[in-house]
Amino acid sequence: MPIIGVLTLEIFVEDSHSLKDKRHVVKGLKDRLRHKFNVSVAEIEGHDTWQHSVVAAVTVSNDKVFAEKVLQSVEREAAHFAGGALVDSSVEWIE
């Protein structure tokens, strides 16, 4: 049975002064996570705010331990990429 892990990342983009600024940062993060970890990534909240975004990264696996490692790596990379802008994160499992 497949395991689905959903990592939710809340990001505050302090230096953003427009939606265009924020989208540039969010797009860079999404592209980086997609290419480096082969996860699906989407902005799920904060579409119309200048400095706030919630991004979800999803992985599917038949091994929960592997999926946990992938999402932990994604979270570390997002924290490194976003610096202090990563406000919160959480993981949900769908089994």
Tokens of 6: 């959903």
> What is the overall mean pLDDT for the chain?
94
The distance in angstroms from the start CA to the end CA of the chain is 7
Above 90 in pLDDT, residue 82? no
How far is 4 from 95, CA to CA, in rounded Å?
6
Domains of the chain, start order? 3-94 (3.30.70.1120)
| pTM exceeds 0.85, yes or no | yes
pLDDT interval class at 1 (50, 70, 90): confident
Radius of gyration (Cα) for the chain, nearest Å? 13
Residue with token string 């570390």: 76
- What are the percentages of helix, strand and coil residues in the chain, rounded to 5? 45, 35, 20
Q: Is the pLDDT of residue 83 over 80?
A: no
* 16-26 pLDDT tens trace: 889 999 999 99
